[in-house]
Amino acid sequence: MAELKAFLDKNIDKNLRRILISNARKKEGASKLQVRPVLVKGQMLYQVTRTEGTKEIHKNYEKAELISYLCTEMQENFRQLQLEGAKVRGTVLVSKKGRMSIKTKVQNIQGKSREDFTPMLSHNRTKRYLLQEGVPVPWLIDLGVMSPDGKVKHSRYDKFKQLNRFLEFIQDILPKLPKEREIRIIDFGCGKSYLTFAMYYYLKVLNHYDIQVTGLDLKADVIEHCSRLAEKYGYDKLQFLQGDIASYEGADQVDMVVILHACDTATDYALAKAVKWNASVILSVPCCQHELNRQVTNEMLAPVLEYGILKERFAAILTDGLRAQMLTTAGYDTQILKFIDMEHTPKNLLIRAVKNPRGKQDLQQQKAWKDCVQAFHVQPSLENLLFGTDKEGCR
């Protein structure tokens, strides 16, 4: 590794353009690494983009840290490294027997402008979105996010980022959805349906998935407007219905359930529906967690819960944490992820639950959240909806 370390130490500098590491030795883990120089608050750092499946993980390193990291990766996980700089190109190859060879070639820069070799130092390059800027999308134009030439309106850029962030969550779970038949998706409380249209466009129009999407909302005028737009675009497998989450009985099986900004216990009813349908994927951005705010008491935390705003925030955290734990008990691998703030609320947590094929119930995990329920003297609606508990919390 001494030769590789010396090669990297010599060529990782302000003239570096990029490093690409590929030819992974294992199927699991990262498939490739990319390195580029970045300026962060005037300091030269090196950003590593680690690709694992459909995910890209970014981390910045100082030079010495980067060299140590790359040497370890080449020793343990990869067989090929390509370095490109303003003055040199280099290739590192590792044989199956572990033998390493390093070849370098000096760049002939005569006759080329300095700009040809300017490294990409901007830390905030234009992000490559799943919905691309500059590509006109009819429903984004009609909903006021884009201009007719595909330019995202400045006042709607947060909405554009939110749509793309949501689609990234969907992209991550695509392998969990059925491939041999039509995929059924329901969006509870769809509202103006920005995200509903985004789902349909991304899955059906761009990626040609066989899907049927239903948007459900209480407001008749909103449903009528969205239905007209779906018809206008020829989205024949996208329908909008007026109805209430708790009483909806329009499906026997659903593959993915989306619940965005459903107020208070409406989220619980939708989560319970999703579990009843044995949905493969649940995506929920909860809102207005009033139920436990009215109930929560705890002697030890009483001095903190005396302050209304702190009690409200604590109740929201408790509500969503318990929801995630109950979904885990119901057979889901559950995460709580950071989402982009919704337009009319600062709520920015997303519960993502993916059906666990193992289906084994962890009694210790279930006991832990039940103890939490008792400690704070709360009776979450979702517990009753999923597990049939009575008001005393008994089975």
Q: pLDDT digit string (tens) for 231-275?
A: 999 999 999 999 887 788 888 889 999 998 888 899 999 999 999
Q: pLDDT digit string (tens) for 303-346?
A: 999 999 999 999 999 999 999 999 999 999 999 998 865 454 45
3-state secondary structure of 112: coil
- 16-25, 127-136, 355-364: which has the highest mean pLDDT? 16-25
Q: pLDDT digit string (tens) for 364-391?
A: 999 999 999 999 999 999 999 999 865 4
- Alpha carbon distance 311, 319 (integer Å): 12
CB atoms within 10 A of CB 389: 16
Burial class (CB in 10 A: 0-12, 13-18, 19+), 42: exposed
Residues 223-252: b if buried by 16+ CB within 10 A, e if exposed: bebbbebbeebebebbbbeeeebeebeeee
- 13-27, 38-52, 311-325: which has the highest mean pLDDT? 311-325
Rounded to a whole number, what is the largest CA-CA distance in the chain?
Answer: 82
DSSP 8-state class, residue 128: -
Q: In this model, does residue 81 exceed pLDDT 90?
A: yes
Residues 6+ apart with CB under 8 A from 86: 15, 17, 107, 109, 117, 119
Mean pLDDT to the nearest integer, 130-139: 86
With residue 352 as reference, give the H or E element that holds it.
strand 349-355
- Is the pLDDT higher at 367 or at 97? 367
Q: What is the mean pLDDT of the chain?
A: 86
